[in-house]
Amino acid sequence: MRGIGRANVWLVPGALGLATAGALVLSLPRGRLWAALLFVGAWIWTARYLIARRREQRFLSESVVQLNDTVERWASGDLHARVYLDQDDPLDSLAHGMNRVAEVLMERTRDLEQDKKQLEAILTSMANGIIILNHGLTITLINRAALQMFRVQESSVTGRHLLEVIRDVRIDDAVHRVTRAQGTETVHWSPPDSEAVVVEVTIASLPEPLGGLGAVMVSRDVSLQSQLDRMRQDFVANVSHELQTPLTIIRGFTETLMEEDIDQESRTRFTRLIHEEANRMSRLVDDLLTLSRMEHHSLPFAVEGVDLLVLVESLVSRLAPRVQEAGLTMVCQMPAGLPLVLGDADRLQEVFLNLIQNAIQYTPAGGTITVSAQTDDSGQWVGVSVEDTGIGIPSQDVPRIFERFYRVDKARSRASGGTGLGLAIVKHIIELHRGRIEVNSEVGQGTRFTVWLSREQEGDDR
């Protein structure tokens, strides 16, 4: 090909030069011969030129076909295709340039694919749900958390309209408002079958330059937070109510006492009632403080090997007068040789005191209270049961009796001075011991509470 290039330059003037020289030598002696020779030379020269041109054109068209094929392959996504031409080919530098462009494109595509994979991995592993919608409000992207939060059964919902996937017109309306007004809005969503689950959905419009995307929805599960808010509100309302009752009574009696014409006997009775109500308030505040300290782990908690036999027997003898006063019988069936359990003796005493007091309180005269103990099959757990033959707990109330202030019969509990916090404290103490409590109850037959505590192992810290 190099020869052809040079021939291109010299062939035309060379052939013309030979033809001109032929014309000039015609007048010379033997001019015809010379002219014929020069003419033949010019003719050969021109023929070479034409052949060279044809070859050049054929090479060029082959190179163009190669370039064209390569571009076609790139267009169909095969960026690995390259074009290699003869280094004398005039299109060779163009081919080199195109190959470099393909390299750069491949690198960029690799980077973009990596970015896309990273983004997908981040979106998939995010605890928050993400849904990206286009302008027609069809789903462009939805991550796993969003599918789970909105209880979507199908795994592939991209391309479908939002309302088809999350059948909630409030969310759909909010998305419309947000995309129209270019702002953000927050909506709370709960599945139709569970009010306790609350998902907070924040919808934000996306600006125009983002390639036709309309809005992004970020959702997070705020069920626990909502439940805690509700519990806090209930708690404040309950405490206020519990304090309100004794305070009203105290105010009423003190107003009566302030009247002058009141006899000594009534004065003594009213003073005693005020004292009782003040005691009830004091107990309530003490119980609340105990609970609060336990929750904040600021209550001293000693870990030692506790002999439940000694602990329960001392409680039983302490409570014997009250049992007798209530017309009940108490039976203690604690086997000898019970393994020690790991815990805080004072706190565990509080647990069994509460359970036995409840048994006394909710068992009519003539009934029996039985305190017994056993180890489980694995030998790792020691269970102490407090069983009564009392009024029992309706099955629908059983799951709630450990809640603060929850009482099956409010009037009865209040009449006996109860605060409704006893079992809440019991549950907390057992949780601190990593134990568990079981309840079996039959209305009119009686109730059995069993506390399971971990036995002390060799090498346990004391």
Ligand X SMILES: Nc1ncnc2c1ncn2[C@@H]1O[C@H](COP(=O)(O)OP(=O)(O)OP(=O)(O)O)[C@@H](O)[C@H]1O
**What does the binding site for ligand X look like in residue numbers (CB under 6 A)?**
354, 358-359, 361-362, 388, 390-393, 401, 406-409, 413, 418-424, 447
Reduced 3-state DSSP string for 147-158 = HHHCCCCCCCCC
Q: How far is the CB of 213 from ligand X (least distance, A)?
A: 55
Q: How far is the CB of 421 from ligand X (least distance, A)?
A: 4
Indicate whether 363 belongs to the interface with Mg ion (CB under 5 A): no
Closest CA to 16 of 37, 36, 46: 46
**C-beta of 39 vs 402, nearer to Mg ion:** 402
**What is the torsional sign of CA 315, 320, 326, 332?**
positive
The maximal CA–CA distance of the chain, rounded, in angstroms, is: 175
**C-beta of 53 vs 414, nearer to ligand X:** 414
Residue nearest to Mg ion (CB): 422
Q: How far is the CB of 187 from Mg ion (least distance, A)?
A: 43
Beta bridge partners of 343: 304
Does residue 130 sit in helix, strand or coil?
strand
DSSP3 helix / strand / coil % (the chain, rounded to 5): 55, 15, 30
Tokens (6 digits) for 97:
């340039």
For residue 388, the partner it binds in Mg ion, ligand X, none, with Cβ less than 5 to 8 A by kind, is ligand X
Using CB under 5 A as the binding rule, the residues of this chain from 302 to 361 that contact Mg ion are 358
**C-beta of 342 vs 423, nearer to Mg ion:** 423
Number of residues engaging Mg ion in binding (CB under 5 A): 2
**C-beta of 197 vs 398, nearer to Mg ion:** 398
Q: What are the backbone dihedrals phi and psi of residue 319, each rounded to the nearest 5 degrees, phi first?
A: -90, -5
Q: How far is the CB of 292 from Mg ion (least distance, A)?
A: 18
- Parallel, antiparallel or unpaired: strands 213-221 and 139-142: unpaired
Residue nearest to ligand X (CB): 422
**C-beta of 39 vs 406, nearer to ligand X:** 406
Using CB under 5 A as the binding rule, the residues of this chain from 383 to 422 that contact Mg ion are 422
Q: How far is the CB of 406 from ligand X (least distance, A)?
A: 6
Which residues neighbour 401 within 8 Å (Cβ) at sequence distance 6 or greater?
393, 408, 423, 439
**C-beta of 142 vs 359, nearer to ligand X:** 359
**8 A C-beta contact, residue 139 and residue 157:** yes
Does residue 325 sit in helix, strand or coil?
helix
Q: How far is the CB of 358 from Mg ion (least distance, A)?
A: 4
Binding residues vs Mg ion (CB under 5 A): 358, 422
